[in-house]
Amino acid sequence: MSSLTYDLTLAGLSVGAAAALTGIGLIVTYRATGVLNLAHGAIAMVCAYALRGLVVDGGWPVWAAATVTLLVVAPGIGVVLERFVFRPLSVLGGDPAQTLVASIGVFVLLVGGAALLWGPGARDDAPEVVPAEPWGQLAVVVVLAAGVAATVRWTRFGRELRAVVDDRRLAVLAGIDADRVATAGWAFGAFTAGLTGVLLAPYVRLDPYGLPLLVMEVVAVAVAARMRSLTVAVVVALGLGVAQSQLTRLHPSGWGEPLLQAVGANLFVVALLVAALVLPGVGTRDALPRTASARVPTPPGAWIVAGVLFLLPLGFAGRDLHTSVQVPALAVVLLSLVVVTGRGGQISLGQAAYAGLGALFTALLAAGRFPGLPRLPELPALAVAVVLVAPLGLLTGWPTISRRGLALALATFAVGVGVSRFVFAQPYATSGLTLGRPAGFDGDRAYYLLELALLGVALLAAHALRRGRTGRALAAMRDDEPGARAAGVRVPSLKLLAFVSGAALAALGGGMLGMGLRAFDPGAYDPVRGLLWFAAVVVLGADSTLGALAAAALLVGLDAGARGGVAAAVIGLLAVLVGRFPGGPYDALRTATNRLRLPHRAHLTPLGRHLRTRLRPPPDHTRPRPGLTGATALTVRGPGPSIVTPEPLRPWRRPGGAPSADTDSAQGVPNGAPPADTDSALGVPNGAPPADTDSATPAPGTAPHPARPAARPEPPREHRAPTPDIRPRTTPAPDRPSSPQPRPTTAPPLLTARGIRVAYGGFTALDGVDLDLPPGRVTAVVGPNGAGKSTLFHCLAGTVRPARGRIGYDGRDITRLAAHARTRLGVARTFQQLAVFPTLTVTENVRVGAEQGRIVDPGAVERSLRLLGLDGPVRVLPAAGLPTGTLRRVELARALAGGPRVLLLDEPAAGLDTAEVAALARVLKALAADGTALLVVEHDLDLVAGLADVVHVMAAGRIVASGPPGRVLDGHEGAP
């Protein structure tokens, strides 16, 4: 090996070793806590400053200072973060969106705090702990990686660690001390961060912004290792380090030279872009940032106050006015986050890139240096820049189609870093690019007035995107993406719309900011700003335009003083604390969404599945709920004649024919109401405990089913079939709509499945299943756990694509059609685990279904609300916090509002009490009588017996018996 190659390899190994340390730390923290510690680089920076402080200012020997920094300060930071920031969040439910926001908050807090403490300038006197030669650093990395790998694989602690990462709640129930595991993970992660900072600081600029960002750029190493394999992380880190170093030897001529130089200097950023955008996303089980986008009610008069405050600077002069000029511009940038994150529910950490591109393009266009376009005056240049940047929103928009949560955060962060390094850091942008203000608006006051006008336009645009059909669809997508798809919302295009609009708004704000500063300053749009802006918007109410205005004023105002970093420190502190405010917006959302959810098997690793099975609550014996223990529990008598009991379509009514007053527990049962009436809309007897506060699939350790007002006795066999035991007990209301005659039973099926086969890995979940759903009939699918019912349901609904077979609808092949497209054709569904939109009111929930469904019928919302007994006071309440029984009806009303011809119901009775189940059965029978084809996947055989026209029994991925319930369910007698 030539001496140059050798020297470059050694230099590359040195850089790679530091990157490997970061990778190891990030992976261990992630494995121990499920948190991707975005503050890793900031911890590294603080430790580097601490070491420098002890050595340079305190006069300590390097070895003593390094020992204290690495063994006390760094792990101490980790323990403090775990104890006071992340543990409270995980105890509250471990919402990944909250932990993500909190880790961004810690990053911003540490960066701001460091700028306040040590000043924003760079230092070049960081002490050297390990000699510049790489062998020492390499040895440290190899020993650390081997030690961690051995611990994770072979020790009890390692097993506990994996269990905690899989599912903290389940691990705790299995007797694991999750806090101890998390504390150890955080302490070790912070130690590696400290080591990275201490090793890197002598060779790079030690400043509060640069070092953290540098460390975060190498997050690619951990992502490439899928946040799992330490070996892969170390190999990738060393490989990238050496490759980056060797690239400096190449000097191609022509256009390739600047490109190669840029790539060579930023190979870790290239790797980050590839890892975040091209490789499959990590952390896909993370939720959307639901909690980061709560609807914050606007206090009365707030807009007037905001208007007055924004007009105040017109009375300022000099430096104050000059500073104020930044506020409207920044407010426009932050409005872009309101649209993307607040309303659309998409994490976007790269918004600073679009703002910077807006400023850069405006400056280049105004200077006549934009390739292929003539020189333009400033205002048209700004308008053209906005138009040019808008489609670039697809850069962060398209990853959202397949990514969410952590994977999306990484993808958008990567785009922000990539644009910053490959566009903003190039000579044309860094060589003092000036940007004038539009003619006639040169003075600060006149320019401020122009900004207010542009801010007004941006506010109108943001309002338009947040209101009406689009706004409701965005909110639905944010609240519950599968639910939104099921309601017919075109989720992929809506995400792209959000990002394109967001990019346009950010570009407008960025251009305004550049004009305010009269120059393009790349530092004003670096990725750290992107994190700060994201945190600020989240903290002050992501779905609030007023919050964006307040955040802009706060950020500019706090940093207007002599010391920089105040704004970052304050916003960081608030972001760290925001998930912990009791009674805050998070609580309502958490109760509405999280309480119902035990992670689905599909989202768990094998260990999690094992724990879930072990810890599954025992069956609820307070309610007779005959289950199938296996196909052998049934006696199959073969197909018999179909039974169709046509019933008129009529609302969910109380006896006597009057539409039910809503007596949801949220509303309270009216005083003096008649005694327990199981035929009422809700079937909640007076004085009975609220029908539900629990989940259909309850969290471990809680009762598996909500308290029921009365146990439902199992009907005698002869009452179950062929005469359904659940019959309407009310006389039809005189004003009920006349319903068409049911279609003859010979009508061709509307939805068909032929030869459906689905395999998960090597396991065949469905093996050649055929199914027909004729109009006007209720078809039920029953079977023991794991029989394949849900998988079949998903195939019909479009959420699982079969490996083989065909799904047909009305003669058309829809096998490859997406879920939302099926809904728009007329195949609606409900969910086993509720999928409602908690921030929308009951009426808005139903309206989403009506607006996106098969037919747009202005009367559909009212009709559906009435049919499901939701037309009382409950209609104006947000879905968050309503009882399960009500939410089930909301979900059903939403599905019906789109005018479906086929309705797929996944365990519709889960979480309902006896009376609610009876009322539900009546509605479903009425729908069938009205010509709808219904599929019910249900464990409640009473319901199936009374409701279904034909029952299919599944076992081991096949349909093993079919026929009328009276025959097929006969053998169920005696089953436990």
Toward ligand ATP, which CB reaches closer, 428 or 760?
A: 760
Q: Which residue has the tokens 């464990």?
A: 939
Q: Which residues contact residue 371 at a Cβ distance below 8 angstroms, ignoring those fewer than 6 apart?
A: none
805 interacts with ligand ATP by CB under 6 A: no
CB contact at 8 A, 221 and 236: yes
Cα 317 to Cα 696: distance, rounded to the nearest angstrom: 62
Residue type, 496: L
Q: Which stretch binds ligand ATP (CB under 6 A): 37-45, 53-61, 784-792, 854-862?
A: 784-792
Q: Which stretch binds ligand ATP (CB under 6 A): 260-268, 484-492, 780-788, 897-905?
A: 780-788
Burial of 383 (0-12, 13-18, 19+ CB in 10 A): middle
HSE-CB at 72 with a 13 A cutoff on CA atoms is 8
Toward ligand ATP, which CB reaches closer, 545 or 791?
A: 791
CB contact at 8 A, 943 and 912: no
Q: Which stretch binds ligand ATP (CB under 6 A): 24-32, 653-661, 697-705, 779-787?
A: 779-787
Over the window 127 to 146, marking each residue x when it contacts ligand ATP by CB under 6 A and - when it does not, the resulting string is: --------------------
Closest to 824 measured CA to CA, from 491, 497, 496, 487: 487
Cα 478 to Cα 698: distance, rounded to the nearest angstrom: 23
789 interacts with ligand ATP by CB under 6 A: yes
Strands 804-809 and 950-955: unpaired
Q: 10 Å Cβ neighbour count for 189? A: 32
Helix axes 491-517, 378-389, angle to 10 degrees: 150
Toward ligand ATP, which CB reaches closer, 135 or 760?
A: 760
788 interacts with ligand ATP by CB under 6 A: yes
Q: Which stretch binds ligand ATP (CB under 6 A): 2-10, 224-232, 365-373, 787-795?
A: 787-795
Kindly state the smallest distance separating residue 794's Cβ from ligand ATP, in Å. Answer: 8
CB contact at 8 A, 772 and 960: no
Q: Which stretch binds ligand ATP (CB under 6 A): 488-496, 614-622, 760-768, 846-854?
A: 760-768
Pick one of 553, 765, 807, 865: the residue that binds ligand ATP (CB under 6 A): 765
Kindly state the smallest distance separating residue 602's Cβ from ligand ATP, in Å. Answer: 3
Cα–Cα separations (whole angstroms), residue 174 to 163, 177, 702, 942:
9, 9, 15, 34
Kindly state the smallest distance separating residue 425's Cβ from ligand ATP, in Å. Answer: 43
Toward ligand ATP, which CB reaches closer, 245 or 832?
A: 832
Kindly state the smallest distance separating residue 832's Cβ from ligand ATP, in Å. Answer: 7
Q: Which stretch binds ligand ATP (CB under 6 A): 670-678, 685-693, 745-753, 778-786?
A: 778-786
783 interacts with ligand ATP by CB under 6 A: yes
Kindly state the smallest distance separating residue 99's Cβ from ligand ATP, in Å. Answer: 24
Pick one of 132, 457, 602, 658: the residue that binds ligand ATP (CB under 6 A): 602
Closest to 40 measured CA to CA, from 194, 225, 210: 194
Peptide bond between residue 706 and the one before it cis (omega within 30 degrees of 0): no
Toward ligand ATP, which CB reaches closer, 511 or 784?
A: 784
Q: Which stretch binds ligand ATP (CB under 6 A): 100-108, 267-275, 556-564, 785-793?
A: 785-793
Kindly state the smallest distance separating residue 800's Cβ from ligand ATP, in Å. Answer: 8
Cα 272 to Cα 420: distance, rounded to the nearest angstrom: 13
> What are the φ and ψ backbone dihedral angles of 953, each rounded to 5 degrees?
-105, 125
785 interacts with ligand ATP by CB under 6 A: yes
Toward ligand ATP, which CB reaches closer, 438 or 786?
A: 786
Strands 751-760 and 804-809: antiparallel
Toward ligand ATP, which CB reaches closer, 347 or 696?
A: 696
787 interacts with ligand ATP by CB under 6 A: yes
Kindly state the smallest distance separating residue 459's Cβ from ligand ATP, in Å. Answer: 44
User: Could you tell me which residues are beta bridge partners of residue 809?
Assistant: 751, 812
Cα 583 to Cα 788: distance, rounded to the nearest angstrom: 41
Q: What is the DSSP letter of 82?
A: I
Tell me the site size for ligand ATP, rule CB under 6 A.
13
Kindly state the smallest distance separating residue 943's Cβ from ligand ATP, in Å. Answer: 15
Kindly state the smallest distance separating residue 51's Cβ from ligand ATP, in Å. Answer: 48
601 interacts with ligand ATP by CB under 6 A: yes
905 interacts with ligand ATP by CB under 6 A: no
Closest to 100 measured CA to CA, from 576, 446, 512: 576
Q: Which stretch binds ligand ATP (CB under 6 A): 251-259, 310-318, 510-518, 782-790?
A: 782-790
Closest to 809 measured CA to CA, from 831, 793, 821, 827: 827
760 interacts with ligand ATP by CB under 6 A: yes
Q: Which residue has the tokens 């991925």?
A: 957
Q: Which stretch binds ligand ATP (CB under 6 A): 318-326, 442-450, 585-593, 759-767?
A: 759-767
Helix, strand, coil percent values for the chain (each to nearest 5): 55, 5, 35
Cα 653 to Cα 741: distance, rounded to the nearest angstrom: 21
Cα 848 to Cα 885: distance, rounded to the nearest angstrom: 20
Site for ligand ATP in 552-581 (CB under 6 A): none
CB contact at 8 A, 525 and 330: no
791 interacts with ligand ATP by CB under 6 A: yes
Toward ligand ATP, which CB reaches closer, 916 or 938?
A: 938
Kindly state the smallest distance separating residue 951's Cβ from ligand ATP, in Å. Answer: 14
Pick one of 790, 843, 845, 864: the residue that binds ligand ATP (CB under 6 A): 790
Toward ligand ATP, which CB reaches closer, 313 or 783?
A: 783
Kindly state the smallest distance separating residue 906's Cβ from ligand ATP, in Å. Answer: 9
* Rg, Å, the chain Cα set: 31
Cα 129 to Cα 565: distance, rounded to the nearest angstrom: 28
Structure tokens at 190: 């912070």
Task: State the residues that interact with ligand ATP by CB under 6 A.
Answer: 601-602, 760, 763, 765, 783, 785-791
